[in-house]
Amino acid sequence: MAADKYSMGELKALCGDYLGANLTVERAADAFVLSNMYSDTELSWSIARFIADHLVSVQRTAGWRNIWGKPDITERLFMLIADIGHSLESSSPPT
């Protein structure tokens, strides 16, 4: 992102907000790669939650197939999805 290259934090935040607000199943995996490339932790978390919520559909996309060529990104995604699942379990009432 040009915003990252030229230290334009506000522009970077706007780009991240736009990316997060316009997520689709088709673009989610690629968006996750971008969020990690630019160290946007909040956006990565948001996209990981979206992917977790739509996992079966996201797994059918070209972006999902491409993410497998990036083991560090794949590992980060799975760690976040596991954290999301753990958070949901701990906030659930006991049965």
Nearest to 78 by CA among 58, 52, 39: 52
Checking if the pLDDT of 89 tops 80, the result is no
Domains and CATH numbers, the chain: 26-90 (1.25.40.420)
Higher pLDDT residue, 88 or 95? 88
pLDDT tens per residue across span 17-66: 888 889 999 999 999 999 999 888 999 999 999 999 999 999 999 999 99
The whole-angstrom separation of Cα 40 and Cα 95 is 36
Rounded mean pLDDT, 66-73: 94
pTM: 0.79
